[in-house]
Structure 1
Amino acid sequence: MSVGISHTSTAGSSEPTAPMIATRRRANFLLAAILLPLGLLTVAGMWLLWPSGDTSEISVANPYATAEGVQFETGTVQRAAFEDCPSSQPTVDAGGEALTCLVAFTVPDAGGPTVPVEVTPELAKASAVEAGDRIRYLNLEGVIQGGSAPYVFVDFIRTVPIAALTILYAVVVVAVARWRGFRAMLGLVGALFILAQFILPGLVEGAPPLLLGLVGSVAIMIGVLYFAHGFSARTSTALLGTIFGLGITAVLAAWATGTAHLTGVGDDNAYALVNSSDQLSISSIILCGLIISGLGVLNDVTITQSSAVWELYELAPSTPARRLFTGAMRIGRDHIASTVYTIAFAYAGAALPVLILVSLYDRALIDTLTSGELAEEVVRTLVGSIGLVLAIPVTTAIAVAVVKAVGGRGTGAAPVPAAVPAGPGGTPEPARQQALQEASQGAPSGAGNGPEAEPEVHAGSRRARREAESH
């Protein structure tokens, strides 16, 4: 005859106790006490720094502006071949030899006969123009006479492939991440709005770049994180870690921009901006860019680290805080190792033509890395990586403190089954005895036990779980 040994547990089968609720309220109050003032400061900063939109004092030459009688036209390339350049006709008429170039015979969208569009030597060398391509070209018939090239290639029309990639991206994100992915894309639209309407015009009008970059970045992160991940203690923890990383990045960027003499004058676009207005500072633009450039990766590591702490806690709610921090940091170190070279490779890919060109110079490696062509990319990588690395332990520590106070989806240790059948002679079988011991120590439910060790579901635990998720 078997004897059943009965055990009860109130840790997971009842509603949260008054002390637990009080602790959760204190934790959420502390998060709100930190984040609400930061949010108000961000709103006030955006109100004070919001640009007027007046660009009348800035004069930038528009490369797409045309002289009188010249117009842009579009068409589809019917065929492309190396033939005598139309621009060489005056030389031929004078008895000279014609130059050979790539000519794209194009059917105008506006209708009419096929026109010979002269392609630039760089594109001709790469054989980039082929039959079926959609191109934009200049019609110079109204200003050039005498047989010179009246049609000159300007650019490709990329509307269809880019639109197709955008649709594919949206479909993939929504299919995999579903509603959260859709919200993240909407958050990205909001972030681009802040960048286009607040940060860029502010830089044009000469606003303080450090404040502009910090205020704009914090506003972007608040919107993106809460919109994509919802209002919860987990998201608030990630936001705190992100703001900390942004602060470190901003301080280092301000120091490095001046110390490393990042002037940006080696860039043609920078020259154009410098000559357009006296109030534009390339160093200010570089400083703001250093702050913004690490936003995406920084947000990634903080939200991932916060989620890792929550998941580890839910697997073993009785884990001490020190052990929970140590386990989460093991994940964080892997994340650091992978993200650091992710940033480096991302910047290397963006600057690949410059890297190839510089690598052909006969210079020492240290001179190459500290040259004006690469110094900005090197500093951007180092500054972003330092802010990212320091944000991980801070985010982990905050997440551990909050999760121990607020709790995850669970409310504590798993409930122990009401009865565990005994083995022959009234003595519990070893496996079942071990299950009893693990359950009494707060082991995760179902760990090493059979189906009979599944926890009971109680109305109180469901209510507690809903309350924990709301926090």
Structure 2
Amino acid sequence: MGANHSHGPAAPSSRGTVWATLAVIVPLALATLTALIWLWPTERTSTGQPSASLQQMTGTITSITLTPCIEEPPADGQPRGQRPPADPATCGEAKVDLTSGPQAGQRIATQLPSGPGAQIFTAGDDVVLIYTPKGILDVPPYQISDHDRSSPLGLLGAAFALAVIAFGRWRGVTALIGLAITFVLLLMFVIPAILAGQPPLLVAIVGSAAIMLTVLYLTHGFTIPTSMAVVGTLVSLSLTGALSVAAIGLADLNGITDESSFYLDMNYRINTQGLLLASIIIGSLGVLDDVTVTQSVTVTELAHANPGYTFAQLYRAAARVGRAHIASVINTIILAYAGASLPLLLLISVGDQPIGEVLTNPVIAQEIVRSVVGTIGLIAAVPITTALAALAGTRRTTSDHQPPPTARHRRPMTPLSDSITQP
């Protein structure tokens, strides 16, 4: 590191760098906006199932009366005594004060959910109930479905937002706004468009591009480092998509590994293989933008601290940071997949299958492909983004108005507009 560097404002990027960046970003933004409008779902998809007549409402349990559990007869071909007994705390009747729905304010009585795996409810619990009008199904009109978790989740969400704002301040506020935009695009565009029959892979690419452009610029500002991160993310995401297509075809995966994917295939005729590709791309985006932004900002700070660094010196210094980052992120990705699939891994392990059969199981093979392809794309993002940012960093022009070397104020990022408007 150089000892006699200035901490004043960074020299603005060259006009050539700015115009080259705009030549990539502007067409990308226009293409994303056009595709977003073209693929935007205009009609709401309906299931056409009778469950649409069922009503969900909330209530509070006021009292519970426990009764002896009745042993259910064994299923056909199942010996008596092999069915696990019900928990005594799940057998009985609950009185519930309804807090929503047309019958809000009324008190109703309903049986507690019982049987193996049933949840335990106590007086004072907020619950979700399903109301079934008479004549639709041969079941009691009110049935307790689940605990109402809206209040604790709201508290956790508030704590999360406060922690982000307390540490990130204004940057934390913009990050939360970006998170909200991500949810809006996923819930109002990606999911409805796939349900409407649009190609899942195309929807995922367009949705990811829209999220990337909106969130990165909103959170990190319209600067050269952010633009380098956007381009690096785009290139790495394209590579991840191409590798996903090749890997899924090579492994003969069709995307159907559970009841949810089977239901979507049977009832909505959704291309489950395309859905798998879409999930890989969307899942990779979150980690990719983390790595690309880190690398781009690292190069910018190195260039500011060492104005005499060449492209090769900037690249090598930032690549060392990137290698350390990737080494930890890879372990994070694998542990995240293992944690999400832990019940499945336990279920497979008790089957006493050879490790080869376990790894080639469609569910496990799908997760292996997902993690390997995502990791390769992540590794590629480091040299790509580092090279782009180093190229932009070495083309900065020298400012004629640098403050004295003793200045210690914070150096702002250089907006793209500064280099265009300079004489």
Q: CA deviation at 1:82?
A: 5.2
Pairing partner for 1:364 from 354, 362, 384: 354
Pairing partner for 1:351 from 315, 323, 341: 341
Name the aligned partner's letter for residue 398 of structure 1: L
Mapped to 1, the partners of 2:412 and 2:215 lie a distance apart of: 28
Q: Which residue of 2 aligns with 1:215?
A: 206
Q: Which residue of 2 aligns with 1:33?
A: 23
Q: Which residue of 2 aligns with 1:271?
A: 262
Mapped to 2, the partners of 1:462 and 1:293 lie a distance apart of: 35
Q: Equivalences for 1:418-437 in 2 at 5 Å? A: none
SS state at 2:67 partner: strand
Q: CA deviation at 1:463?
A: 12
Pairing partner for 1:455 from 382, 398, 405: 405
Name the aligned partner's letter for residue 376 of structure 2: I
Deviations 1:177-210 (A, max 9, x none): 1111111211222222222222222222332333
Q: Which residue of 1 aligns with 2:176?
A: 185
Give the stretch that moved more between structures: 357-366 or 390-399.
357-366
Pairing partner for 1:134 from 110, 126, 130: 126
Q: Which residue of 2 aligns with 1:118?
A: 112
Larger Rg: 1
Mapped to 2, the partners of 1:368 and 1:465 lie a distance apart of: 50
Q: CA deviation at 1:212?
A: 2.1
Contact 2:224 2:415 in 1 (8 A): no
Name the aligned partner's letter for residue 119 of structure 1: P
Name the aligned partner's letter for residue 77 of structure 1: I
Summarize the Cα distance change of 1:413–1:365 in structure 2 as closer, same or farther, 3 Å threshold. farther
Name the aligned partner's letter for residue 137 of structure 1: L
Identity %: 34
Mapped to 1, the partners of 2:38 and 2:234 lie a distance apart of: 20
Mapped to 2, the partners of 1:64 and 1:179 lie a distance apart of: 43
Deviations 1:293-331 (A, max 9, x none): 111111101001111111222222222321221111111
Pairing partner for 1:230 from 216, 221, 225: 221
Pairing partner for 1:338 from 328, 343, 367: 328
Q: CA deviation at 1:242?
A: 0.5
Asked if 1:174 corresponds to 2:165, the answer is yes
Asked if 1:284 corresponds to 2:262, the answer is no
Deviations 1:13-49 (A, max 9, x none): 9999xxx87x711111111112222222222222332
Q: Which residue of 2 aligns with 1:436?
A: none
Mapped to 1, the partners of 2:106 and 2:337 lie a distance apart of: 46
Summarize the Cα distance change of 1:381–1:75 in structure 2 as closer, same or farther, 3 Å threshold. same
Deviations 1:128-166 (A, max 9, x none): 43343211234679579xxx9775331111110111111
Name the aligned partner's letter for residue 27 of structure 2: P
Mapped to 2, the partners of 1:197 and 1:37 lie a distance apart of: 24
Q: CA deviation at 1:470?
A: 4.5
Name the aligned partner's letter for residue 364 of structure 2: L
Contact 2:232 2:292 in 1 (8 A): yes
Mapped to 2, the partners of 1:308 and 1:463 lie a distance apart of: 14
Deviations 1:389-420 (A, max 9, x none): 1011110011111112137xx959999xxxxx
TM-score (norm 1): 0.74
Contact 1:73 1:108 in 2 (8 A): no
**Which runs of no fewer than 5 residues in structure 1 stay unpaired?**
1-8, 89-97, 416-453
Mapped to 1, the partners of 2:347 and 2:394 lie a distance apart of: 54
Q: Which residue of 2 aligns with 1:24?
A: 14
Mapped to 1, the partners of 2:92 and 2:133 lie a distance apart of: 17
Mapped to 2, the partners of 1:207 and 1:171 lie a distance apart of: 38
Name the aligned partner's letter for residue 221 of structure 2: G
Summarize the Cα distance change of 1:73–1:402 in structure 2 as closer, same or farther, 3 Å threshold. closer
Q: CA deviation at 1:63?
A: 5.2
Mapped to 2, the partners of 1:337 and 1:469 lie a distance apart of: 36
